[in-house]
Chain A
């Protein structure tokens, strides 16, 4: 018995030795191989020395543009600016070679240089981005021409280009947000539509505060806005031309409430909720000819529809199961499948521009959350939690979500917040007054 066990042990050791020898021989036969699975998640340090003013008229704008670019990048939470006081090199010539060692010394991993020239009302902005440690340029330099009034957009475009070259995805800085501006106390709150740059600059009001307005939504091209107005005494859908600030009623049927509109990706169709006879269902409407099509006919409440980016499906909320949950159905109507199964109530679903996620509002245990889940309902992830968070809206690149956060109490007010889809970089969006119901535009052309 002992002899057999000894032989077995000997055999086992021989096999192990053989395997070890084989592994060693294999390891020696080629380059050393290692696998790295742990890294760090930190903002990438970058340096943005003030853009060079090619002439005296551009001096002030050069500084302003540089600050907007840096604010855009740092505001994402993905980048961290190396302060100018730490810079060793001073960029005085846009075309001079970069002394990478000086920027490596301050651990700037990316470098942005630029120049601004102003001729009359015309403005020209040039910039280059560098990967400092690779000592090579990030893509090739770009130049934008515009007017002095549009200097902020030009700065946003520079930031979008840098963001895209480093992260590999498109930016979202040259975009706008339409929202409901709120003033006054809670019991006498006055609401009106407003539009602004994504960072809160250039606020413009699209409507007056004579009538209650709700839930504005951008068209896929960003030139029109759908919203719900109580101008006639009950909710009706309006469409507004942003450029000309002209509006018209989309559905003028007396006694029929229409609300929660949203454009289809083609921009020609609108999906919305309609309440008739005490029942709320989903409909689509052709904007050109006004023809409608019923999508649901259940006795329950179906609302807050949102198209998938390819226009083939619609996600919406319904209480057909007894509680408010999320469902997905074909864009032409038909059988809907439930995708939310967690505890609590789900609402206001919005399909991501990338098509991979659905953002939603969740109410659970007396608190509200903004969350995301896969389009099949899996991998639900709650990004925020507060007394009242609701109404998510996706950034054009699907990386950031803007939503309404309302504070508690009689003096509570609604403000806009943004958070990225990993739950990081939660921060308020600057607005002159209270704000709610944000809708993010696509990137401007």
Chain B
């Protein structure tokens, strides 16, 4: 059996190259449903960093603060995704890279992870890649493992704690349905993180200043070592055949009366539905 958490040895001065992959998504809190047509009303919806990626950025910055090194944030998206990268810099990331090209439009998770992996290769040296467990607009949880597979590196998904980092290895806790697993891996490694791993900080004043001046590196198809057949709509095995509004839920039934009467009615309903 392994030792207790107290025996964890954090090695400073490892100087890790950490890459955090993020995605800009529409802010769901601002999405309203039109009650008549049951469709989305997205006019003027703000774009934010995918909520799960905030934990990824924070974990990258914390790790850098512990062991030394550099945090680079990477995203693929339209030109306005630069705003997400600048926000990441205000939160402590050192450098930012945007993969942006019309050839990337229409990418599904296969093509997205292919393109992001090509972006990672361009950065050359990396020890750890951190992603949020999934994006709030797609919920697929496929892109993190996809990047790892394209790069042929191992992965640990749903990480809730980094227990220890050494020069060439890392030990993490991976959340499961029943509890968690303790996993050790060689580096480089890709992890996807869950909310439990940390509490993201607010941007510091210095961070905000840095983000204003930060220069974002923008890379397009020509800058990456990629094959056109694997990019964008053409490089994506999945196709959207149809988009439709789900049938509206039928109007619910109101149950009224004294607490006692309500309890009796509910008990009958539960017995029937159970």
User: Does B associate with A?
Assistant: no
Chain A interface residues toward B at CB < 8 A: none
